[in-house]
Structures are given as C-alpha cells and as structure tokens.
C-alpha cells in the first residue's frame, strides 16, 4: 500500500519571504505633512464633486417634511406629558 503525505510547506506567519523586502509606509511616508494635508483636501473636493446635490424644489420639500414631522412629534410628546401630569394630579391629589 502506498502512503500519501502532504509535502506542501506553508510559510510561517509574519516571516518575510526570501526575495521580498518589507514595506516602509508606501507612498505616504515619502511626502511631508503639508503635502499629505494638500492631498487630503484634494480628495475631499473630489468626493464632493461626486455628490448628487438636491434641487431647490427637492430641498424645500425635504425641509417642509422634516418641519411637519418635528411638529407632530412635539404635539405627541406634549399630549403624553399633559396626560401623565393630569393622571399624577388625580392620583396624588
């Protein structure tokens, strides 16, 4: 009978390979703090250009919906608070 053995060697975790050098921070380590700050702001502007901004009509619609919702929640909290206050007055005199 023939035995089957696994001869594949797995490299140790954290160990470096023979032909590779460890990285030293990549591209960011080569730039100074002002260059990195400038890159950061350029990336912010690039991301803001991708944003789909609402039209004036959409913005006014969203704003009115939020205001109406807030008024409804304020009224609901007021009614619950007033009702609990009256119940406490009735119970404790």
- Most confidently predicted of 7-11, 34-38, 63-67: 63-67
**Would the pLDDT of 85 be above 60?**
yes
3-state secondary structure of 38: helix
- Give pLDDT, residue 31: 81
Is the pTM of the predicted complex or chain greater than 0.75? no
**Would the pLDDT of 52 be above 80?**
yes
Q: How many residues does the chain have?
A: 93
């Amino acid at each position: 009978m023939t035995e089957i053995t696994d001869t594949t060697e797995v490299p140790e975790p954290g160990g470096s390979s023979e032909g590779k050098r460890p990285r030293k921070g990549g591209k960011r380590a080569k730039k100074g703090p002002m260059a990195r700050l400038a890159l950061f702001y350029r990336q912010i502007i690039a991301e803001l250009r991708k944003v789909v901004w609402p039209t004036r009509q959409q913005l006014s619609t969203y704003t009115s919906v939020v205001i109406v919702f807030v008024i409804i929640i304020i009224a609901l909290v007021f009614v619950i608070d007033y009702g609990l206050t009256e119940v406490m007055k009735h119970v404790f005199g």
